[in-house]
Structure 1
């Protein structure tokens, strides 16, 4: 602490700063006034600086610094010992806490396991109780159902007692049956025979319906075929009538053509005869022999044409001479 106080003394003390603005301004002007009033001495009044003084001053400062350093080391050693003691104490407390934590953890784990086992047993017991309650409920329902069945059976027995008495009376009076079971067997046999006969009858009715349906379909198909054939027959008759009309028409046309052909043939024969006669007359007048055959009408007409042209030229020449 002494070294710290010495270090504080070595620091330059600064003036305290006033918080009031007026006081601060006043102090500022006072300091300026004091600076003006300070007496300035000439430089020769200052002590001179010698190297020996500087060395002495440096040795003094070094000694003071070493002394402060030794004090710091001593203080650091005390602090280190104190910290080591605290650290050892903390380690000891840590070990104690760790052991206590391990014991507590073991205790908690054991308690948790015991609690889990207890919860498991409680849950199993609850499940067992629930199953037993369900079984009791089912048994009660079954008991109630069986009681209902018993009551219904008693009721049915009471209702059908008269039928049993009647069947016993039938056995006694008829003498055909020895017990009620024989009556039931006979009844079942008759019912079975009835069912067989009804099935056979149903099959026959179904077969009859199928045959009727087939006959109806066949009748419809045949009637449709007959209608189709009638339509075709009507079409063929119409075509035949039309063909007969066309045949009569063409027969008439052929007859007319034959008449025209006969007329044309007669006319052709007459023309050929005329051409032949005219050709013979021309040849006779010219006194030339007949060289063209009777059937070669084209040559005859050609010769007649040349003759007519010659006559026209002669007639034209004669007219010219007559006019002169």
Structure 2
């Protein structure tokens, strides 16, 4: 903090008596000069020693203590100020909260009122639109009625001349009044209407019969087309079946020829077997006991005879081998060949 009463005199050094502010300025100026400089006073020369450090530390401690006390007082004052500010802030917060709640409630109420108002406005606009449409319809009806009134007046004017005619008719006829005449006319008109309705019914009946005939004709034509399609399909199946039949007929003809050829061979073979059977029975002086078509029995008989002949030949060979002679000659070879053929047939 600035001094309110600064020291004006430092003492007399030589013949000079200088104020502190002027002395400091003169001191720094004298450092830059070679002449006219002040000699440093003894108290301005730093001294060394522990007592000086202790004094300096004590001075700093006192300064720090004084500053600490000052800061404590300031902190206490600031604490009170802050507490008061916090209380004011809480109070302000409560007020703002209440105002916010009131404002929010007011806004919600305004929003609800706005929604209700919009709904009522929409309803009123819809009603207004309906009323406008009805008014337009009424205006159109009014114009139509006005035009009809004009036309009706013209028609009345046109038919006024017939009033006298009807009066003369009533006077010269059996009708007592105009109402009787109109009733008779109404009956005639109703009869005409009934006749026209009956005519329309007859026309409708004729049209229905005509439509029925057209439908029946269309159905018959459709059925004929379907039958033609079925006939074409049957013809195609018939042609396929005929082709297949011709194919099988050719196959059967080939089979018949093959069967006939085999039958010829079979008959020839049966005749050969029967002939051999007759030869063997004749050689053995036996009667023919088996019939022609008993081929199995004949073959059994031929096989038995061939086995007997083979046994005889074997014995003859065995005997001739013992005697050192041979029975193989032209006749015996021919006989043996015939026997071999007979054995093949029996097999």
Instruction: Please indicate the TM-score interval, normalised by the length of the shorter structure.
Output: 0.3 to 0.5
Q: Which structure has the highest helix share of the two?
A: 1
- Normalising to structure 2: TM-score of the pair? 0.39
Greater RCO, CA 8 A, separation 6+: 1
